[in-house]
Structure 1
Amino acid sequence: MRRSKAILTCLVALLFLGSLGPVSLRAEGESSWNSLGVVKPPVEHNSSPSVTKDVYTVTNSVYLLAAEKTELVIYPGESVRFTNDTSNLISITTDAKSSNDIRYDYVSYNSEGKVTYDDLAHTGSASVLSKGGTTVITVDYPYPLTVSFNSELSYAYSPVPALLKKTLRRGESYFISNQAYAGRSIMSDATSTNGKRYDYAVYKEDGSLEKSSFDTYTKPSFSVGDSIILTGASEEPVTVGVPYEGFIGYETDEPAYDSVLLYPGEL
């Protein structure tokens, strides 16, 4: 009889414990079981953003920004034409400085082909006008030129240089005709201090003389249809130039000025 009561008591105890279910055997909020007794994956308690992810995003953005720049080395004798099809003017930065002897020639055209900027033995940056503007850069000097520009610019190596130019020794002459869209001034490396000089004579389309000067360093302008003859007038050779496109140039035996060497006492 005692044994029957003991067995009955054990059964009641087991039934009571069974009615509590598995929930009573774990701490609240730490269960890996669901109501059906199936194991659930642990829950990660991390509501703050990932620092690593944020740093990667910023770094990636900086990388993409840097990737928008293109760097190109232009070697002596090479010419490159840059084209801008965007709606904004784009600058081309270079390593040409007055202190490092790196130089280049360039000319910029608008979408209609009119010259907007040009220079001989230039240092610093250049610009490419918007909406179809182009710029031609030529390295005609001893050192290569490194340029950096927005990747929105397209570029191609050009068989045509930026400038039509000529170095004149004393007595040598060069004829240039303006067949471009607008008047333009002569470029040269003559300055008030370096002793380089030339004579020039500008003629109208009908052949009449428009203006002239002797032993000068000034940069004369000449209109569409006009022509100019430049003659070297110094012991130091002088370089003159105009944009290559729209101008015709060739050597000539005709000087800007007819001159006669007079000795003391001669008239």
Structure 2
Amino acid sequence: MSLGGHPNNVVSVRYSSSLVFTVSTSYIKVWDIRDSAKCIRTLTSSGLVNTGDTCAASTNRTVTIPAGENQINQIFLNPSGTVLYAAAGNSVRVWDLRRFVCTGKLMGHLGPVMCLTVDQTGNGQDLVITGSKDHYIKLFDVTEGAVGSISPTHNFEPPHYDGIESLVVQGDCLFSGSRDNGIKKWDLTRKDLQQQVPNAHRDWVCALGVVPASPMLLSGCRGGVLKLWHTDTLSPLGELRGHESPINSISTNSSHLFTPYIWEAKCTESGTNQHDVTELEPR
């Protein structure tokens, strides 16, 4: 199965049940993959909805953004799969996937929103965390049915020294990676800074990931280096050169790490019934 016909590079992919969402330039394609790869909707950064596939494929590598639109940098689904958040320009657009309509925008950043992640409270309220080129991380509480412009409920201080490129949540902790080459660890309950590694990499920290059931944080940089950190202390556990190009995304399951390569994790069981990653091998 191939999901093609994009106007330029695909920069973000998400899936929920039978739907897959792909991002290229200012467009989000919505694919129904139950029978075949069929594009059923095309969403735009400005909030328009078109039935079917309405953005043409192109072999031109120059990124062209139509007038009135913005580059969509990342998308994220809420845990229930009913809402899609799309970062474009200085805001995040909120899409109700039950009706395929835009219901509002998360506002407040002074620069383009480069990354976001979404968690959910016990009462079903979405907690949207955004990172921007303005160096700041913001938290938005989004209640079900909220419409219009939504302001942040918290700004994380102190900010990074450069733009935020990556965010990941593990339990009550948030980790952020920045163009300042650093990684910060935040307490989501107290909403304060716990720890930081100012020069975690020699280049932008473009991707972060966590290993399920293990106190391991993974980071990837623009220089292609992959590093492992202990989530409790942010002490380094190892590194390797994974690629000759930037590592822009990291995904994990219980035994594998996915960058553009697939890595197999060699684990040992610790005394706390957790599994510690001791080695990564490409497959």
**Larger proportion of helix:** 1
TM class, shorter-length: under 0.3
**Larger proportion of strand:** 2
TM-score (norm 2): 0.23
Larger radius of gyration: 1
